Structure 1
């Protein structure tokens, strides 16, 4: 079912309003970050301010585009009429599991679980089977092969503390 031109303009304007809101929240949050100059005179609040300003500019631009004729170069929507909530639940579940278990399981295992659940959801969104025990094992190993080097890169090379499973710092 196609949207009327007025509905399209409203929906497109709401995307711009959303960008403005996110930019405003980021700008508000940046006011609470210390502005003490660090390396090369740039403080820790510089990047949040840059992102906030860019979001505010993009939000205003999106609203202007929507109100002056709509997104002119936008392709017609493709895909299913409705969202695949079951697949989305797997992806969201993976993200929530990661956020809630990262301090108890450690970065590597929590990210492996997140990857495994998200890949299952993505696979199902394409109309494929979610996968049996063998596929879960393959996805888990793949997730671990991605998460472990990232963990080691951040903790060993960049000296950024990420939650680990053991005190040794290798898991």
Structure 2
């Protein structure tokens, strides 16, 4: 006895086709840019443009593969997306960029830490902002004082390291 199954016809996956187009554009730009690099391979054919060309062709190959799978509709059903966490992280990055030279590395990055923690489910910003500032201050101290690399100093950094 045979059972007939009525499968719904597969539809093309528009998101996959958009991703394939993006991969192809990135690969094309990399190929164009690597063509402008001087080929300093010397005695071998390997030079500064070699790796970008390999990566570009790899991206173009992945774009083709993604496009074929998107047209066939072979991608699994994706779960519903929740944009709120991504928006919290993007907002944290924006705030950090705006405050970096005003408040210094520690405070700006502490706020980014708190916004990212909020995106991952920690709702208490009053707790995560000070924790983030402490972590960022430790990072600033290591980079600025031990490694002698320049990171923007604000009032907090000036309080502990005047003239730094």
For the superposition of Structure 1 and Structure 2, which TM-score range results when normalised by the shorter chain?
0.5 to 0.7
- Helix, strand or coil: the match of 2:37? coil
Match of 2:131 in 1: 135
Give, in whole Å, the separation in 1 of the partners of 2:95 and 2:46.
38
Give, in whole Å, the separation in 1 of the partners of 2:116 and 2:46.
40
Which consecutive residues of structure 2, in runs of 5 or more, have no partner in the other structure?
A: 1-9, 152-163
1:139 CA displacement: 2.7
- On the 8 A contact 1:12/1:70 being kept in 2, the answer is no
Which consecutive residues of structure 1, in runs of 5 or more, have no partner in the other structure?
A: 102-108, 156-162, 166-170
Match of 2:48 in 1: 44
- Alignment coverage as a number of residue pairs: 137
- Larger mean Cα displacement after TM superposition, 84-93 or 15-24: 84-93
- Helix, strand or coil: the match of 1:136? helix
1:137 CA displacement: 2.5
- On the 8 A contact 1:35/1:43 being kept in 2, the answer is yes
Query: Which one has the largest radius of gyration?
Result: 2
Match of 1:30 in 2: 34
Match of 1:126 in 2: 120
TM-score, scaled relative to structure 2: 0.62
- Larger mean Cα displacement after TM superposition, 118-127 or 32-41: 32-41
Segments of 4+ moved more than 6 angstroms? none
Give, in whole Å, the separation in 1 of the partners of 2:26 and 2:108.
25
Give, in whole Å, the separation in 2 of the partners of 1:135 and 1:39.
55
- Helix, strand or coil: the match of 1:31? helix
Match of 2:143 in 1: 148
- Larger mean Cα displacement after TM superposition, 40-49 or 112-121: 112-121
RMSD between aligned residues? 3.8
Match of 1:159 in 2: none
Match of 1:77 in 2: 79
Matched, 1:59 2:63: yes
> 1:30 and 1:89, CA in 2 relative to 1: closer, same or farther beyond 3 A?
same
TM-score, scaled relative to structure 1: 0.60
- Helix, strand or coil: the match of 2:13? helix
> 1:33 and 1:115, CA in 2 relative to 1: closer, same or farther beyond 3 A?
farther
- On the 8 A contact 2:88/2:116 being kept in 1, the answer is no
